[in-house]
A and B are shown apart, each in its own frame.
Chain A
Amino acid sequence: KAGVTQTPRYLIKTRGQQVTLSCSPISGHRSVSWYQQTPGQGLQFLFEYFSETQRNKGNFPGRFSGRQFSNSRSEMNVSTLELGDSALYLCASSLGTAGGREQFFGPGTRLTVL
Chain B
Amino acid sequence: AQTVTQSQPEMSVQEAETVTLSCTYDTSENNYYLFWYKQPPSRQMILVIRQEAYKQQNATENRFSVNFQKAAKSFSLKISDSQLGDTAMYFCAFMKQGRTDKLIFGTGTRLQVFP
Give me the interface of A with B, judged by CB distance under 8 Å: 3-4, 31, 33, 35, 42-45, 48, 50, 55-56, 58, 90, 92, 94, 96, 99-103, 105-108
Main secondary structure of the interface of B (DSSP, over half): loop
A45–B91 Cα distance when bound, in Å, is 14
Q: Output the least CB separation between A111 and chain B (Å).
A: 16
B104 within 8 A of A: yes
Give me the interface of B with A, judged by CB distance under 8 Å: 33, 37, 43-47, 50, 52, 91, 95-108
A-B pairs under 8 A by CB, number:
64
Known: A43-B105, A48-B101, A48-B102. A100 touches B44 (CB 8 A): no
Please give, as numbers and ranges, the residues of chain A lying within 8 Å of B46 by CB-CB distance: 105
Please give, as numbers and ranges, the residues of chain B lying within 8 Å of A92 by CB-CB distance: 45, 101, 103
Known: A42-B108, A105-B44, A107-B44. A99 touches B96 (CB 8 A): yes
A106–B44 Cα distance when bound, in Å, is 6
Q: Output the least CB separation between A73 and chain B (Å).
A: 16
Please give, as numbers and ranges, the residues of chain B lying within 8 Å of A58 by CB-CB distance: 102
